[in-house]
Amino acid sequence: MNCITNWRDDYAHKLVEYEAMGISEYWIVDFCALGAVRYIGQPKQPTITICRLVDGEYQLERLVAGKSLSSSVFPELELMTDDIFQAAEL
């Protein structure tokens, strides 16, 4: 498993830039749980954060193992967090 350590860019810089550009949905997949506790919670564990643009500002939803994902961009998407975490281990 290759863990990339650019979580600061994903949770701070990109989030602000994407929000300013009006990107309606942005997913952060932190399968190595490298993000700060303020971003992924305690105890630190693999987390997917879905950022949805609501009234020009991102609302964040944190999801951990065993959770179902939904997308406002792709409403027909049926995916579990475990599917993504397992793919990351390949």
The domain segmentation of the chain, as residue ranges, is 7-88
Over residues 18-45, the mean pLDDT reads 93
| pLDDT tens digits, one per residue of 10-28 | 888 999 999 999 999 999 9
* pLDDT of residue 5 exceeding 90: no
Which pTM was predicted? 0.89
What whole-number distance in Å separates Cα of residue 50 and Cα of residue 60? 6
3-state secondary structure the chain: CCCCCCHHHHHHHHHHHHHHHCCCEEEEEECCCCCCHHHHCCCCCCEEEEEEEECCEEEEEEECCCCEECCCCCCCCCEEHHHHHHHHCC
